[in-house]
Chains A and B, each alone.
Chain A
Amino acid sequence: MVEEVKPRVKVPKSAAVGEVVTIKALISHKMESGQRKGSDGNLIPRQIINRFTCDLNGVNVIDVAIDPAVSTNPYFEFDAKVDAAGEFKFTWYDDDGSIYEDVKPIAIA
């Protein structure tokens, strides 16, 4: 079965102006480190997600450089200050050039 890459994000539906909200982001990914050998004795080529970013209304919230020691299905939990209603944009960058994206709206309560 093909290992499917699937982003999952949890963002509150609404927040007060200036409120700091907690965001959780997880992506299913095997995060092959490049250190392991396959059953044929050869190295399995590295394929990890090397960068993860989150923007709120075009302003960067977090930008993470990821290295091979990070586990499979990498999970990030972080805070963001919400000044206006808008949209969180999440982006994961794969070694193979693939880009996985997810978008979550947030309203002002």
Chain B
Amino acid sequence: MHRTATSLVALTLGLALAGVAYTDPVEDALVVEAEDGTIEIVTTAPAPDFLKDTMETIYSGWHYRETETRDLQRDDFDNPGMVYVDRGLDLWNAGIGAKGESCAGCHEGPESMAGLRAVTPRVDEKTGKLMTVENYIDACVTERMGLDSWKWTGDEMKDMLALISMQSRGMPVDVATEGPAAPFWEKGKEIYYTRFGQLEMSCASCHEDNQGKFIRADHLSQGQINGFPTYRLKDAGILSAQQRFVGCVRDTRAETFKPNSEEFKALELYVASRGNGLSVEGVSVRH
């Protein structure tokens, strides 16, 4: 009897320790050393009102990664994503249009895009369509420059996305969920909680019910997309939010939606709204 009690205590203690060691996001703060000074990034924030029943605090995915990976994001020189931002800047200034137009020709410096990444996806007032940053890029490329659409997850698109996102770095994510955005947001929410694939898993199965736990070797985050586009060490390349969605849905053994499908655009809006209050990280680093 006595022995059983002791081992039970030991077992409970062990579980408690494991709990502390493995299930919480790391406590840490992110200050990025940029070319022109330092930028404080908000990586922890109170959850938006509509999430209050399920969680108190929202965490950037940065808190769920290893020390070495987190450190890469502290200094722009160490952040491999900046290579793509540089490429995006070259593309911004290049006269690539059918008549030699460049992004810079209309918009001047990329700073003119400051704030865009923080509020997208958003509903365009004129057309009533839901617009991601990629949709805006595509509109310029096809309508104003007279080119064929860039491949949605191709180099040019993602280099430009990285450059534009960087202009909003440090700004709080603040996507609209009401008014004209409401139907899109509801659709995104429905997708978020719908179980897909042979494994019958929804986004919430991992990122809400089991965030902080390990799924084999992966530390499950809250699935925030404030850090996207992100440099992924595994791919040695940059990844957009909707590309990540493809990866997640595929992992449930489902046929995935396509990037820029109505489904993923709505989902991007809903997932972004779950991170309202976190900083845009520009180009983050994840594994």
Question: A-side interface residues toward B, CB under 8 Å?
Answer: 1, 4, 6, 8, 10, 24, 26, 28, 71-73, 75
Report yes or no: B236 in contact with A72, Cβ–Cβ below 8 A.
Answer: yes
* Nearest CB in chain B: distance from A60 CB, A: 23
Report yes or no: B78 in contact with A24, Cβ–Cβ below 8 A.
Answer: yes
Report yes or no: B86 in contact with A24, Cβ–Cβ below 8 A.
Answer: no
Closest 9 CB pairs of A and B: A10-B77, A28-B83, A72-B236, A24-B77, A1-B155, A73-B83, A73-B80, A71-B236, A1-B156
> With A and B bound together, what is the CA distance between A38 and B86 in angstroms?
27
Residues on A with C-beta less than 8 A from B86 are: 6, 28
Report yes or no: A73 in contact with B236, Cβ–Cβ below 8 A.
Answer: yes
> With A and B bound together, what is the CA distance between A4 and B83 in angstroms?
10
Residues on B with C-beta less than 8 A from A4 are: 87, 90
16 extra interface residue pairs, beta carbon distance < 8 Å, beyond A26-B80, A73-B80, A73-B236: A1-B91, A1-B155, A1-B156, A4-B87, A4-B90, A6-B83, A10-B77, A24-B77, A24-B78, A26-B77, A26-B83, A28-B87, A71-B236, A72-B236, A73-B83, A75-B80
> With A and B bound together, what is the CA distance between A6 and B80 in angstroms?
13
* Nearest CB in chain A: distance from B197 CB, A: 28
Question: B-side interface residues toward A, CB under 8 Å?
Answer: 77-78, 80, 83, 86-87, 90-91, 155-156, 236
> With A and B bound together, what is the CA distance between A44 and B101 in angstroms?
35
Residues on A with C-beta less than 8 A from B87 are: 4, 28
* Nearest CB in chain B: distance from A92 CB, A: 15
> With A and B bound together, what is the CA distance between A73 and B233 in angstroms?
12
* Nearest CB in chain A: distance from B240 CB, A: 17
Report yes or no: A8 in contact with B80, Cβ–Cβ below 8 A.
Answer: no
Residues on B with C-beta less than 8 A from A10 are: 77
From A8, which residue of chain B is reached at the shortest CB distance?
B77
14 A/B residue pairs, CB under 8 Å, sorted by A: A1-B155, A1-B156, A4-B87, A4-B90, A6-B83, A8-B77, A8-B83, A26-B77, A28-B83, A28-B87, A71-B236, A73-B83, A75-B78, A75-B80
* Nearest CB in chain A: distance from B285 CB, A: 13
Residues on A with C-beta less than 8 A from B156 are: 1
Residues on A with C-beta less than 8 A from B78 are: 24, 75
* Nearest CB in chain A: distance from B156 CB, A: 6
Residues on B with C-beta less than 8 A from A6 are: 83, 86
* Nearest CB in chain A: distance from B161 CB, A: 15
Residues on B with C-beta less than 8 A from A24 are: 77-78
* Nearest CB in chain B: distance from A101 CB, A: 18
> With A and B bound together, what is the CA distance between A71 and B86 in angstroms?
19
Residues on B with C-beta less than 8 A from A26 are: 77, 80, 83
* Nearest CB in chain A: distance from B55 CB, A: 36
Residues on A with C-beta less than 8 A from B155 are: 1
From B154, which residue of chain A is reached at the shortest CB distance?
A1
From A27, which residue of chain B is reached at the shortest CB distance?
B83
* Nearest CB in chain A: distance from B280 CB, A: 23
Q: Which of A1, A6, A75 has the most CB of B within 10 A?
A: A1
From B78, which residue of chain A is reached at the shortest CB distance?
A24
> With A and B bound together, what is the CA distance between A4 and B78 in angstroms?
19
Residues on B with C-beta less than 8 A from A71 are: 236
